[in-house]
Structure 1
């Protein structure tokens, strides 16, 4: 499914980043160990991983997914550079632009009052589902929708007001036809055509899984969700994400993939 990925090594001051989790400050030695394990799973799946240097100026910069959305097309890849709704993160855009410029065929930039974070964007087949919330606004969605149309995709807006950072905080893909989600998304018409698994109350964090094609990654420590996945034929590799969870981060947040 993916051939390439970009990740960024966590900065030592990651604990100074944006979070509403209330779970305390991350243990940086454990954070780095978890990040290393994350990369190893990509490599085991045959995905080429570019590891960027940490950026101490931006403690949230490990969550590279928010800075760009990769748009695969026949013969190449475009990158849509976002403008984060979280204002302290906006300086990350030029840094990621420099890092990915040699790896993509075209770079498209957000303009004007458009806001978007990649954590609000879920690609299923030829459709991008885009959360519209406190981090991504209507102008950002419209600019992105116009951009992806050029490459044969369509975009569908998914407005919500649940008080969580991103669409994919509680919604992600398990394979090309199946979504896992919290109960807050279970009845949404936008996803009516998909097979859906709903995580139990209290295990909402486990709805952020990462489908790589040959591998499915899921956060460790959620036994009811693990049972749900097993009963439905899914055999993911479970990864301890405890330190990234403290900073509102999940499996999808830590990489750009194409």
Structure 2
């Protein structure tokens, strides 16, 4: 059976104090609503047949709910990130413990390299890494060296208009890369495999299985576009996280390979 496990982390009551870079800070983040939305997000995984594990909460770290930024998982290897924002580097300790408990080998991005997991898009043996914001060239080089023995091709992609690469683009189950054109610096990176979506949050999908995507409720036209392509679409309201530049991808780490399995 396919291994379908996700690491998640409960939002901090201080989430509204987190970092924002490309949007105006909202003064009305509702921490109680954020918890309810997070619980609905987790439940969407459960309904799709996934198991979830909670990384130890970190109330003192406002951005800790965005657990995807703490690592890059490829095959049986978990590369623990070194976040580009120094304020977020404490988030990786408990996340590393959680993924190690699943039996993954552990490696680390070391100084002076920086890398956020949200800058990494993986599909079909290729790994695109956004550079220019939270992730630097040294971080990309270290990731390339760590993933090369696993056969991955790592490609750097400049990111200037959004926080992370996966704020701009993600991939559908068959490999088409989707993005909201005003926020994609260079769609020619995926020439012939790029699909423009009508809403910013329509660019963010989590693959639940080979025909099902999870996405934000704030992109109904994009959802209809995906349905017209034969996909099943699950939507969740993540409005409080969107106020902090969050999206459906950054709220979990998806584990799809069981370490040590054939």
Q: TM-score, normalised by structure 1?
A: 0.90
Give the corresponding residue for 2:260: none
Aligned pairs for 1:157-196 (under 5 A) are 157-162=156-161, 164-183=162-181, 184-185=183-184, 188-194=187-193, 196=194
User: Separation in 2 of the partners of 1:83 and 1:10?
Assistant: 20
8 Å contact kept, 1:2–1:213: no
Structure 1 ranges of 4+ moved more than 6 A: none
User: Separation in 2 of the partners of 1:28 and 1:161?
Assistant: 29
8 Å contact kept, 2:133–2:159: no
Give the corresponding residue for 2:251: 254
1:46 lines up with 2:43 in the alignment: no
1:3 lines up with 2:1 in the alignment: no
Q: Which of 22, 29, 33 is residue 32 of structure 2 equivalent to?
A: 29
Give the corresponding residue for 1:93: 92
1:229 lines up with 2:226 in the alignment: yes
Residue range with higher mean Cα deviation, 115-124 or 105-114: 105-114
Q: Which of 53, 56, 61 is residue 59 of structure 2 equivalent to?
A: 56
Instruction: Tell me how far 1:48 sits from its aligned partner.
Output: 1.7
Indicate the SS of the match to 2:143.
helix
Give the corresponding residue for 2:201: 205
Instruction: Tell me how far 1:2 sits from its aligned partner.
Output: 5.1
Report the RMSD for the aligned CA atoms in angstroms: 1.8
8 Å contact kept, 2:56–2:94: no
Instruction: Tell me how far 1:104 sits from its aligned partner.
Output: 3.0
Q: How has the CA–CA distance of structure 1 residues 145 and 13 changed in structure 2, closer, same or farther, with 3 Å as cutoff? A: same
8 Å contact kept, 1:129–1:158: yes
Indicate the SS of the match to 2:77.
strand
- Kindly provide the CA deviation profile for residues 57-109 of structure 1, in whole angstroms up to 9, marking residues without a partner as x: 2110110100101111xxxx211011111110011122322232221331001
Aligned residues: 250
Q: How has the CA–CA distance of structure 1 residues 219 and 136 changed in structure 2, closer, same or farther, with 3 Å as cutoff? A: same
Residue range with higher mean Cα deviation, 225-234 or 23-32: 225-234
User: Separation in 2 of the partners of 1:120 and 1:155?
Assistant: 12
1:125 lines up with 2:124 in the alignment: yes
8 Å contact kept, 2:159–2:185: no
Give the corresponding residue for 2:109: 110
- Kindly provide the CA deviation profile for residues 148-187 of structure 1, in whole angstroms up to 9, marking residues without a partner as x: 111121111111322x110000211121322210114385
- Kindly provide the CA deviation profile for residues 232-251 of structure 1, in whole angstroms up to 9, marking residues without a partner as x: 33331111110110111100
Indicate the SS of the match to 1:150.
helix
Structure 1: 5+ residue runs without aligned partners? none
Indicate the SS of the match to 1:180.
strand
User: Separation in 1 of the partners of 2:142 and 2:118?
Assistant: 16
Indicate the SS of the match to 1:236.
strand
User: Separation in 1 of the partners of 2:3 and 2:173?
Assistant: 13
8 Å contact kept, 1:134–1:165: yes
Indicate the SS of the match to 1:147.
helix
User: Separation in 2 of the partners of 1:226 and 1:99?
Assistant: 32
Structure 2: 5+ residue runs without aligned partners? 256-262
